[in-house]
Amino acid sequence: MADAARLGAIDTVMHEDRLFPPSAEFSAKARIPSLADYEALWNEVAADPVAFWEKVGREELHWFEPFTETLRWDEPQSQPQVAEWFVGGKTNASYNCLDKHIAEGNGDRIALLWEGEPGDTRRISYVQLHKHVCKFANALKSLGIQKGDRVSIYMPMVPELVIAMLGCARIGAVHSVIFGGFSAEAIADRNNDAGAVAIITADAAWRRGKVLPLKQTVDEALKKSPTVKHCIVLDRVNEAVHWTPGRDYWWRELTRNASDDCPAEPMDSEAPLFILYTSGSTGKPKGILHTTAGYTLWSKKTFEWVFDHREGDVYWCTADCGWITGHSYVTYGPLAAGATCVLYEGAPDYPDKDRFWEIIDKYNVTLFYTAPTAIRAFIKWGDDYVDKHDLSSLRVLGSVGEGINPEAWMWYHRKIGGERCPIVDTWWQTETGGIMMSPLPGAIATKPGSCTKPLPGVIPKIIDEVGDECGPDQGGMLTIAHPWPGMLRGIWNDPERYQEVYWSKVPGKYLAGDNARCDKDGYYWIMGRIDDVLNVSGHRLSTIEIESALVSHPAVAEAAAVGRPHELKGEAVAVFVTLKNAPPSDELRDELKKHVRKEIGALAQPDDIRFTNTLPKTRSGKIMRRLLRDIAAGKEAVGDTSTLEDYSVLASLRQDEE
Ligand code: ATP
Ligand code: MG
């Protein structure tokens, strides 16, 4: 440990030895059936990434014009550093998600199995989805929207959200999806940053049986969005809305007479596909830019690898399209792979806390992908909700968005997976376009809390503060050493920030902004955000290890650990804890301190434990530790709070303090 501290590495205090190999039966049928196969593939790509991606790019995407150069990357001098993939080629993301399947004779396959929150349902085949997308693309054209124009999308999780994304992609307009819970202010900021010419919305959305007035929020936002000339409104809830003639159009009317023939626009490989603002966990959201060919290929390939997707699978990703997971693993990846996808509009606890399990049961979902925040809520709600339903159709379970605490992982494994389904804990970011590290379910034995190994084409390097590569079990900054097709191409409108955030600290390597360690078996463990490291008496500690130790106590539902200034130690460990059912008490506080000491050692023992009803989270469900850090230090929470889910949480946390 002392050695690690001297090198500027992060101490590892958590030890997790449980290992869960895939069953022989699962592996026998898997795309990548063994560790040796995975290693061979990984090595093949690492030895010559250009040759590999050239072959896969040609085979798996449809090209209007073939590319002439697989990768252009003038490492490391160019400022800012941007990789270009499949240069000279022309393709279209919407074509790859729709027309390609129809051309291959799979048009009648179901693309979307949609379930509305009130219980209405729709089944949409690839042929039907293609028609909807073409009509909508023609409607966009009828408003004069062109290739390269930016279009904001602010909608509930209805099929038209996917249709809108693919409709933009079809004509080469660049979409910017804004999560349907954001304020008028946040929408206006994004409209203005992107220079959007149009916005697509709905009259309203259903949320826990209540009506959220989306159009009204958009009206408010458009007062401050001078670039937006058109507003297309889907009639979802039948709410009365204000109307600005000449600017507002009903979706229904605009598409009614539009032709369902709209050939996909051949787009340069590097033409922008979308802009997406990050979750804002660590600061002001960044408008991440992804382009056409590399992103489409990466989302498709990683979807197939990680979920071991096969014909006949029913796949459900619970993410909202307002986040990157909803782009890569609700829309582009699964549709490019020709998957049948469940799309659900509403909340997990409406009308009751078993809605997810009911949906899995009803549609015989085989591949299920959700977030740790949801899993922790399910645990808190209790097993009875799960027990009411037959979940035996499931074969792979996924997790994304935050680290999953090992005890939450174990619950997911036992209770949802019936100890039969591999769990794919997928580490990636808005910036990476798709999954970077994850178990391949037939090949890699899992360890609870580890995202295991890098996907083929991903070369992680863990770097300490001095710039050297860390050894086994030494925590440091996670970087990626070689470009991959799905990587971001920039921050919209802000090349300096792009250079500064991702490329300035470790030259020539992509800086992820997370810390990680690699254990002696080559398994990676994400240790939390670089900015969130705690520095206690010269030891650098990771947030997630302390939090996982707390969550392993039966009374604890969720925990967030932050450092607060301390005269002697530099920083003291402060934790915020939500409880399952137990009432808060001083005894429990002492017990939790002892528990952490026992699990991971005296160094990590919290000085302060604060019980709270909720933690501040982004709207995508991630704990916002930077706000808690301010509160623990007794300061006003400063910095960007535009993506905070519930503003009252901050006030109540401050009250708890008094
Ligand atoms: P911002 O960059 O604006 O602060 P954000 O990083 O939360 O927001 P996203 O791109 O949605 O925005 O999230 C990516 C981050 O989520 C990762 O950098 C990592 O910290 C965390 N994350 C995602 N998946 C995992 C995982 N499986 N294990 C651990 N952490 C994860
Ligand atoms: Mg981030």
pLDDT per position as a tens digit, 96-113: 999 999 999 999 999 999
Binding site annotation covers 357? no
In 3D, which of 331, 326, 369, 371 has the Cα closest to residue 178? 326
Residue 285 CA to ligand 1 centre (angstroms): 12
In 3D, which of 401, 436, 426 has the Cα closest to residue 617? 401
d(CA 79, CA 85): 18
User: What is the per-residue pLDDT for 656?
Assistant: 66
∠ CA 242-243-246 to the nearest 5 degrees?
A: 160
Binding site annotation covers 589? no
- First CA to last CA across the chain, in angstroms? 38
ipTM over 0.95: yes
Beta strands across the sheet bearing 367-370: 121-125, 110-115, 340-344, 314-317, 367-370, 396-399, 423-425
DSSP alpha helix (H) spans, 184-322: 184-194, 214-222, 251-256, 292-307
Binding site annotation covers 132? no
Residue 402 CA to ligand 1 centre (angstroms): 6
Binding site annotation covers 426? yes
Residue 279 CA to ligand 1 centre (angstroms): 8
d(CA 504, CA 149): 31
pLDDT tens digits along 246-299: 999 999 999 999 999 999 999 999 999 999 999 888 888 999 999 999 999 999
pLDDT tens digits along 596-648: 999 999 999 999 999 999 999 999 899 999 999 999 998 877 788 888 888 88
User: What is the per-residue pLDDT for 231?
Assistant: 98
**Residue 270 tokens, joined:** 């590097």
pLDDT(75) > 70: no
d(CA 214, CA 205): 7
pLDDT tens digits along 192-204: 999 999 999 999 9
Binding site annotation covers 537? yes
d(CA 157, CA 321): 7
Binding site annotation covers 654? no
User: What is the per-residue pLDDT for 4?
Assistant: 45
Binding site annotation covers 540? yes
**With contact defined as beta carbons under 8 Å apart, do 108 and 126 qualify?**
yes
- Which of 281, 375, 455, 523 has most ligand 1 atoms within 8 Å of CB, for mutation? 281
Q: Return the minimum-mean-pLDDT range out of 59-63, 412-416, 582-586.
A: 582-586
* Ligand that lies nearest to the alpha carbon of residue 528, given by its number in the listed order: 1
- Nearest CA residue ID for atom 31, ligand 1: 402
Find residue 618's DSSP bridge partners: 644
The phi, psi pair for 288, rounded to 5°, reads -80, 130
Q: How is 111-163 classified by DSSP, letter by letter?
A: EEEEE-TTS-EEEEEHHHHHHHHHHHHHHHHHTT--TT-EEEEE--SSHHHHH
CATH 3.40.50.12780 intervals, the chain? 18-92+286-457+481-506
- The angle, 0 to 180 degrees and rounded to 10, between the axes of the packed helices 35-47 and 49-60 is 110
CATH 3.30.300.30 intervals, the chain? 553-655
pLDDT(506) > 50: yes
* Ligand that lies nearest to the alpha carbon of residue 424, given by its number in the listed order: 1
Q: Which atom of ligand 1 is nearest to the CA of 281?
A: 4
pLDDT tens digits along 121-132: 999 999 999 999
**Secondary structure class of 211 (helix, strand, coil):** strand
**Secondary structure class of 562 (helix, strand, coil):** strand
- Which of 275, 405, 430 has most ligand 1 atoms within 8 Å of CB, for mutation? 430
Match 């969720």 to its residue by tokens.
558
The phi, psi pair for 255, rounded to 5°, reads -95, -15
Kind and range of the H or E run holding 573? strand 570-579
CATH topology (fold) of 122-265: Rossmann fold (3.40.50)
* DSSP summary character for residue 532: G
**Residue 456 tokens, joined:** 């083929």
- Which of 279, 289, 620, 623 has most ligand 1 atoms within 8 Å of CB, for mutation? 279
User: What is the per-residue pLDDT for 636?
Assistant: 79
The CA distances from residue 318 to 325, 376, 386, 564, 638, in Å, are 9, 15, 17, 35, 31
**Residue 41 tokens, joined:** 């593939």
Q: Which residues line ligand 1 (CB under 6 A)?
A: 278-283, 285, 323-324, 400-403, 425-427, 429-430, 451, 512-514, 526, 529, 622
* Ligand that lies nearest to the alpha carbon of residue 323, given by its number in the listed order: 1
**Residue 500 tokens, joined:** 């500064």
- Nearest CA residue ID for atom 15, ligand 1: 429
- Which of 514, 544, 548 has most ligand 1 atoms within 8 Å of CB, for mutation? 514
Q: How is 226-238 classified by DSSP, letter by letter?
A: TT--EEEEE-SS-
Report percent pLDDT > 70 for the chain.
97
* DSSP summary character for residue 470: P
∠ CA 92-98-99 to the nearest 5 degrees?
A: 75
CATH 3.40.50.980 intervals, the chain? 122-265
pLDDT tens digits along 548-587: 999 999 999 999 999 999 999 999 999 999 999 889 999 9
Residue 262 CA to ligand 1 centre (angstroms): 37
- Nearest CA residue ID for atom 11, ligand 1: 279
Binding site annotation covers 556? yes
**Residue 459 tokens, joined:** 């070369």
* Ligand that lies nearest to the alpha carbon of residue 284, given by its number in the listed order: 1
d(CA 607, CA 564): 10
Q: What is the mean pLDDT of the chain?
A: 95
pLDDT(7) > 60: no
pLDDT(78) > 70: no
Residue 260 CA to ligand 1 centre (angstroms): 39
* Ligand that lies nearest to the alpha carbon of residue 432, given by its number in the listed order: 1
Q: Which atom of ligand 1 is nearest to the CA of 451?
A: 27
pLDDT tens digits along 509-528: 999 999 999 999 999 999 99
pLDDT(459) > 60: yes
Half-sphere exposure of 218 (CA within 13 A, CB side): 32
β-strands 272-277, 267-268: how paired?
unpaired
d(CA 306, CA 284): 31
pLDDT(2) > 60: no
Binding site annotation covers 430? yes
Stretch 394-405: mean pLDDT, rounded? 97
Q: For domain 18-92+286-457+481-506, give the CATH number.
A: 3.40.50.12780
Q: Which atom of ligand 1 is nearest to the CA of 427?
A: 27
Q: Which atom of ligand 1 is nearest to the CA of 430?
A: 10
CATH 3.30.300.30 fits 553-655, yes or no: yes
d(CA 104, CA 206): 37
User: What is the per-residue pLDDT for 79?
Assistant: 66
d(CA 586, CA 171): 62
pLDDT(3) > 50: no
The CA distances from residue 343 to 50, 314, 338, 363, in Å, are 35, 11, 15, 11
Stretch 314-331: mean pLDDT, rounded? 98
